[in-house]
A and B are shown apart, each in its own frame.
Chain A
């Protein structure tokens, strides 16, 4: 029995020893040897840029978007290669948006968008329910004028243009609405500071710079209603929707790069993508005027009548000979076909196009913000055929001659798309020219300073054309479904930002021989559906 007790005691002791023995990996993750940072030093990483750097998605800055910002994704990976703490000026919730002195302005600083089943009664009496991007319920809880203490590694300022980063007072609360940016107000070190000063003061060892998108984006998303300021070297005179002069861009941009490399920081310069390939411009097709054979014939004959009335008017007013009038009017005798047809858009009236409208060309773009209901049901982009107009048309078809008032009724029935809803080919050319000039500056500086360089232009072109295959899917630019772009059609999803982070880390590794591990984009969210 004594022996038995001994054995039992042994069993009990043995049990105790073994129970407290959790399995151990040969190399525990927590005790891993740091990955090499190569020739780079990630101990103090500062990210400079605009909304794309801040992590804006779904139309606003919100908490989850910031956590999935490309600088934060990179900082998490840098942590295993000597990276230090990475602080972001976090919004306090997932509603997003900002209050200014307690006031909520959903047009300027809205809450985020989600995809929600929404009823619409676009066609009269016929209610349809479909998933649509809508503002989430609730109001922002983050006050812009509450200045956060300390300095921040993510210095992305939504809305900032290239020259704004060097602008003193850009974070002055009294300048909100005029010269200041509410997002920078939140974390500026003092009201007279500039973003670049605050960045340099942190003595970064590593930086990323992705600025300049807004120098063309505002122009693009306003449908080109701004001014192309090329040739105007005074950015203080620019409006929000203007294109920045490429020399202004170059001098601002090179100033930042000089300042950052001047303190010995290494980093990555990221060029500017083609804004016209983002879903904001590619979602509403320019040929969505879908007609039956009868409708097409009707519209074609309407425009024959239109051309006739226009020519007749010119001759009657003595402004042209019949031959000249015929030649000028011919452009308005537009032919429509069964199936999809391109819409009509406004253009500035000119001697060659006195009526100031024409049919869209293949590469011209409609904005996501256009009223698609009007487009579908109210003749926006073609003709509003009221009973009165139809009466006049009937009279003419029966061989009658319209009165001057009746003629005007027909001419005014044309409802071409407003300039604010469309990017025409001239505007696209201006945007592309400016972008190419900015990108030449960026590439040249990267080469001159030996910095890493990411060609985001090519990368996002690939997303927009073939898509990019990641774990668990193909990321494309298709609105809602593509996975790359968020519900504002301009900013990326967390998955899109992960793709950017991976590519920045790739060029970092290539340039500096570092060993940052890429992330799996498929594990990052796309849009939020309700």
Chain B
């Protein structure tokens, strides 16, 4: 029953944003507070996401970490050539996460994670300058991830498990830059589908060459969400176009693989330093190709993403028994090329500044608070993959965005 409730919560999730492409770095309050570094940090059930190999080292038999972050974000566009400007509407969204682990014995733990590593929500002003590329998009993928964790030696463990992904997408854009119906309302297309599934896996190891040093590696596999017979709605098309109001669409959206390598160093009794490096294999996202039913022409949207890296640094400090303070920073390289920069995921290079606090209410319960302030570097770029009548019509402009993401969670230990 409780599990159902959690899943219900996830389906209410409005999607999310932030990190290169549509990868979100929001998988747990404690790690998020440390620059979202945690592949070698053993301090909670968040390890189900960061490195399941570490679960077996948790002190307690049962560990639960659950919480949510709220996202308040703002993006802006301007172009000195065309004198056009636009803003994203001040959307707020919530991204929850749930992790649990249970130690069957000293050498073997099982875990379960439900989290959302991919998602994006953007709403530009309707019919803005780039409305032929996107008016609004909402994309979310929830990963349900049971894991096992095996201690092969005191200094070495492995872990992993299958991932069942459930995704949803809603995407609206105008048909092109000028087509309208007889009343001058822009012709637009909405595609929508939910309950799209895919399967992948996660695997990792943790190695402790010294009592104060841990070294971890995690691999999360690529999952391709294949939409078949989703709903396509064609609104405000002229009669002459003879396009049905509703039809179907098919598409493939890759959720790319990610490798994380990280180090944790217990500097003193009270200080922990964590360093993570992510490599996300975004080159899997070559093109978003939509095919429609009823003989409606397909839409090809080249993306040409490149693999990208994130560099993370986190600090943890325990001033008292009751309190743990955390801070961090990360630099997130964009996977988007400057000549294929679409306002559908306007994500330039970003810097994330994080902080957080844990308050231990008693031996069992703790409250975890976190915040992330994300600033995207001002970037002038162009999307050159758009054509009308076989002639390119690049969409150029300067983008900037930021996001403030506070989070709150509970940790339970038994």
Contact = CB atoms under 8 A, between A and B. Distances in A.
A117 B240 contact: yes
A23 B76 contact: yes
B184 interface: yes
B337 interface: no
B401 interface: yes
Given A4-B322, A15-B371, A94-B184, A522 B240 contact: no
B210 interface: no
Given A19-B404, A23-B400, A530-B239, A471 B178 contact: no
B188 to A, nearest CB: 15
A115 B75 CA distance: 39
A472 B322 contact: no
Nearest to B84: A29
B401 A23 contact: yes
B83 A473 contact: no
A472 B391 contact: yes
A514 to B, nearest CB: 16
A377 interface: no
A25 B402 contact: no
Interface in A81-127: 94, 114-117
Given A19-B72, A25-B398, A473-B388, A526 B78 contact: no
A23 B402 contact: yes
B365 interface: no
B357 interface: yes
Contact of B389 (A8, A474, A517, A529): A474
Nearest to A79: B83
A25 B76 contact: yes
Contacts of B75: 23
Given A22-B74, A522-B177, A114 B182 contact: yes
A15 B400 contact: no
B323 A4 contact: yes
Interface in B325-365: 325, 355, 357, 359
Interface residues of A, number: 51
Interface in A1-28: 1, 3-4, 7-8, 11, 14-15, 18-19, 21-28
B234 interface: no
A25 B369 CA distance: 31
A115 B241 CA distance: 11
A520 interface: yes
A4 B240 contact: no
A64 interface: yes
B85 to A, nearest CB: 5
B177 A29 contact: no
Contacts of A117: 239-240
A522 B325 contact: no
A469 interface: yes
Given A25-B398, A522-B177, A529-B238, A15 B404 contact: yes
A530 B240 contact: yes
A11 B357 contact: yes
A94 B184 CA distance: 9
Contact of B240 (A80, A115, A470): A115
Contacts of B369: 8, 11
B104 to A, nearest CB: 35
A76 interface: yes
Contacts of B406: 11, 15
B392 interface: yes
Interface in B291-347: 319-320, 322-323, 325
Interface in B153-194: 176-178, 180-182, 184
A471 B393 contact: yes
B218 interface: no
B133 to A, nearest CB: 13
Given A4-B357, A22-B74, A525 B402 contact: no
A312 interface: no
Contacts of A1: 322
Contacts of B398: 25
Interface in A441-486: 469-474
Interface in B81-95: 81-83, 85
Interface stretch (B14-22, B246-254, B372-380): B372-380
Nearest to A64: B184
A239 interface: no
Contacts of A526: 178
B244 interface: no
Most B-side CB within 10 Å, residue of A21, A29, A77 = A29
A529 B375 CA distance: 44
B271 interface: no
B107 interface: no
A29 B184 contact: no
Nearest to B387: A472
Contacts of A94: 184
Contacts of B373: 18
A29 B400 contact: no
Contact of B78 (A25, A79, A116, A131): A25
B74 A23 contact: yes
Contact of A525 (B83, B129, B180, B355): B180
B81 A21 contact: no
Contact of B83 (A15, A76, A530): A76
B303 to A, nearest CB: 20
A190 interface: no
Contacts of A520: 82, 393
B394 interface: yes
Contacts of A11: 355, 357, 369, 371, 406
B378 A131 contact: no
Interface string A65-81: 00000000000110110
Given A469-B391, A525-B178, A530-B239, A517 B322 contact: no
Interface in A478-496: 495
- By Cβ-Cβ distance, the 9 closest A-B pairs, closest first, are A472-B393, A472-B388, A473-B389, A471-B393, A529-B238, A29-B78, A23-B400, A530-B182, A23-B402
14 contacts: A4-B357, A11-B357, A19-B72, A23-B74, A23-B76, A25-B398, A28-B78, A116-B240, A469-B391, A472-B388, A472-B389, A474-B391, A517-B81, A523-B177
Given A18-B404, A22-B76, A528-B182, 17 more contacts: A4-B323, A7-B357, A15-B404, A21-B402, A23-B376, A25-B76, A25-B78, A26-B378, A80-B83, A116-B240, A470-B391, A471-B394, A472-B387, A472-B393, A495-B178, A523-B82, A530-B182
